[in-house]
């Protein structure tokens, strides 16, 4: 079983390419179950933020999984693969795990030490979990990613001095309007990012805040919280002219303000206006930035803001990497033990068979006992076998080399004459046995053909209309 990652981020491309692959929350509801129908995608999470779109999956064959994810991106967004292939990165197994931990800890972020990314990682996982797209492996992986993110923030100074998208946006405004003039600032959108911006605005700038949002209730609540002026979303254009700054952060899939709206900004008389687009896909038509009085900034421009505390926080990366390595080690310790779990279940099954045979063999000698006394003897035998298994498991935890663990598993199977398949007629181990050698599973020519062009076993999360389940 392998962890695979296919992604695109602010390091590999600009916002105009990222927005074409962006998944809104509503799209994720559709996309995640669809992704599971692609060949060899057994579990998946889609992390879609302003700065990155990353798909994490669990698969038996990395090559098939990579092709599946790339085809899914192309199919879902209706974009030819050649349009985004030059910008993507692919990682698997240890590299994918390490990358996720670095993302959760913010050392892979555009803004080092930012607070938002950990919540975004957690939300992405919870979304996938709510749609039954995760199982034991992804659950453990993302739970440990959350642990890494929290530890890096509490045990290092990586978040010291700062910084969030909201604070950087406000720094940008202060650079544009260095004087003490009281500014009129309009926020289009009343979500998490707008909240961060408003928090920084009220603390750092003398300004009048106006807010608008598609949901009036949410905007009204927002306005009360930040002592802002609320305007109805349908008439927001009428309020553009008196604003010095307009900040967009909505989930709109298209431009909210277009080049033909330039006149509404009232910049023809030399008045300047700052437009900040914190959305992906973008909410502001980039053509507006061609006007000399319009200062248009996007999320990519935030990286260029001088961050005086960055050098200090860069030194904290070393401490963060120590934490990441420690948690990574614990994750792979758990992962390696998963190869032994089926063996131990098989041994337990064999012990049960031995118990049944002994009870049968000594049935005449036991015939004089009451049922209660017979049950006590069976419980003693169960307790004895459980103790043996626990002792073996405890000793196996000392083995850190996955290859040695694999050989020990084989030795145990031979010692106890275990037939794994015979004892695994239940879904307790949804992942099968991880392959410590990283070998690919052979192609099975007898498997049914998958509609996406490759074979795949029936995914337990996706109903198969051709199958009728019968319960005994």
Q: Each residue of 41-94: pLDDT tens digit?
A: 999 999 999 889 999 999 999 999 999 999 999 999 999 999 999 999 999 999
Phi then psi dihedrals of residue 264, to 5 deg: -70, -20
Phi then psi dihedrals of residue 471, to 5 deg: -105, 135
Report the chain's mean pLDDT, rounded to a whole number: 83
Dist CA 21 CA 12 (whole Å): 13
Catalytic residue among 50, 93, 133, 207: 50
**E strands, 315-402, in order:** none
Which residues have CB under 8 Å from 192's CB, separation 6+? 116, 119
When pLDDT is averaged across residues 414-435 and rounded to a whole number, the result is: 49
- Calculate what percentage of the chain has a pLDDT beyond 90: 44
- At residue 433 the predicted structure's pLDDT band, cuts being 50, 70 and 90, is very low
Residue 307 pLDDT:
55
Residue 345 pLDDT:
82
Phi then psi dihedrals of residue 230, to 5 deg: -105, 135
Give the highest mean pLDDT range of 227-236, 352-361, 400-409, 454-463: 227-236
Per-residue tokens: 351 = 């012990």
Helix, strand or coil for residue 386? helix
Tens digits of per-residue pLDDT, 357-405?
Answer: 888 898 888 888 898 998 999 899 999 988 988 888 888 777 767 677 7
Q: Is 50 a catalytic residue?
A: yes
Quick one: which of 439, 174, 117, 171 has its CA closest to 305? Answer: 171
């Amino acid at each position: 079983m392998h962890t695979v990652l296919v992604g695109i981020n602010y390091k590999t491309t600009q916002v105009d390419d990222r927005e074409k692959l962006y998944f809104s929350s509503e799209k994720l509801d559709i996309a995640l179950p669809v992704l599971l129908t692609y060949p060899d995608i057994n579990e998946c999470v889609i992390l879609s933020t302003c700065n990155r779109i990353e798909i994490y999956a669990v698969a038996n064959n990395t090559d098939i999984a990579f092709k599946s994810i790339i085809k899914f991106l192309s199919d879902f967004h209706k974009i030819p693969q050649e349009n985004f292939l030059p910008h993507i990165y692919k990682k698997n197994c240890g590299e994918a795990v390490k990358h996720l931990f670095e993302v959760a800890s913010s050392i892979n972020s555009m803004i080092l030490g930012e607070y938002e990314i950990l919540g975004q990682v957690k939300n992405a996982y919870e979304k996938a979990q709510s749609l039954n797209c995760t199982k034991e492996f992804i659950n453990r992986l993302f739970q440990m990613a959350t642990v890494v993110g929290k530890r890096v923030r509490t045990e290092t100074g990586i978040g010291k001095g700062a910084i969030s998208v909201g604070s950087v946006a406000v720094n940008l405004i202060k650079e544009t309007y260095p004087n003490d003039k009281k500014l009129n600032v309009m926020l289009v959108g009343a979500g998490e990012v707008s909240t961060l911006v408003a928090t920084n605005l009220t603390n750092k700038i003398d300004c009048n805040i106006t807010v608008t949002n598609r949901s009036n209730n949410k905007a009204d609540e927002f306005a009360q919280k930040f002592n802002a002026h609320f305007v109805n979303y349908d008439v927001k254009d009428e309020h553009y002219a008196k604003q010095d700054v307009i900040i967009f952060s909505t989930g709109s899939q298209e431009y909210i303000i277009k080049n033909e709206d330039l006149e509404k900004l009232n910049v023809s008389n030399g008045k300047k206006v700052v437009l900040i687009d914190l959305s992906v896909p973008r909410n502001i038509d980039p053509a507006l930035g061609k006007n000399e009085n319009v200062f248009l900034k996007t999320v990519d421009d935030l990286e260029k803001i001088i961050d005086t505390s960055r050098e200090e926080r860069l030194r904290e990366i070393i401490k963060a990497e120590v934490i990441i390595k420690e948690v990574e080690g614990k994750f792979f310790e758990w992962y390696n033990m998963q190869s032994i779990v089926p063996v131990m279940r098989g041994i337990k099954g064999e012990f049960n068979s031995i118990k049944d045979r002994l009870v049968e063999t000594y049935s005449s000698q036991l015939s004089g006992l009451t049922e209660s006394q017979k049950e006590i003897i069976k419980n003693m035998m169960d307790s004895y076998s459980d103790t043996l298994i626990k002792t073996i498991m405890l000793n196996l935890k000392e083995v850190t080399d996955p290859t040695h663990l694999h050989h020990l598993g084989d030795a145990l199977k031979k010692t106890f004459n275990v037939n794994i398949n015979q004892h695994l007629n239940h879904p307790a181990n949804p992942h099968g046995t991880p392959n410590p050698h990283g070998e690919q599973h052979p192609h099975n020519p007898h498997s049914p053909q998958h509609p996406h062009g490759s074979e795949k076993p029936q995914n337990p999360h996706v109903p198969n209309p051709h199958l009728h389940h019968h319960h005994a």
